[in-house]
Amino acid sequence: MTAQLPLLSPTDSGPCCAPVTGAVISIEDAERTARTFKALGDPTRVRLLSLIAASTDGEACICDLTEPVGLSQPTVSHHMKQLVDAGLATREQRGRWAYYRVVTDALTAASHALRP
């Protein structure tokens, strides 16, 4: 048996009619945050970020990311492009290889985006 909440009339104040103050996310921030969460919605991309963050110098070459995730270089590059486009990683080209770093500020902002 579930408890029933009392019904409130439009003139009553209660949780359904509480005013929203100051903590509402802007449209632009909501769109940016949604892109971030969409990029993080794939377990391979989360794992790639984890691999980069755990590396000794905080960066990883694309050539070092393929084996741990068991995917081809073009597939890993595609995933990394999604992370870069979402602002979660940076890419630096060094000769033939691309090197990636995690943007920790972006992860921190995402973790705080929906907190009250």
Nearest-angstrom CA–CA distance, 7 and 60: 57
Q: Domain residue spans in the chain? A: 28-111
Closest residue by Cα to residue 103 from 85, 90, 86: 90
Topology of the domain covering 28-111: Arc Repressor Mutant, subunit A (1.10.10)
**pLDDT computed for residue 23 by the predictor:** 65
Length of the chain: 116
Q: How confident is the model over 39-89, as pLDDT tens digits?
A: 999 999 999 999 999 999 999 999 999 999 999 999 999 999 999 999 999
Is a pLDDT exceeding 90 seen at residue 6?
A: no
Give this prediction's pTM.
Answer: 0.75
Is a pLDDT exceeding 50 seen at residue 4?
A: no
Backbone angles phi, psi at 47, to 5 degrees: -65, -40
Closest residue by Cα to residue 47 from 80, 72, 87: 80
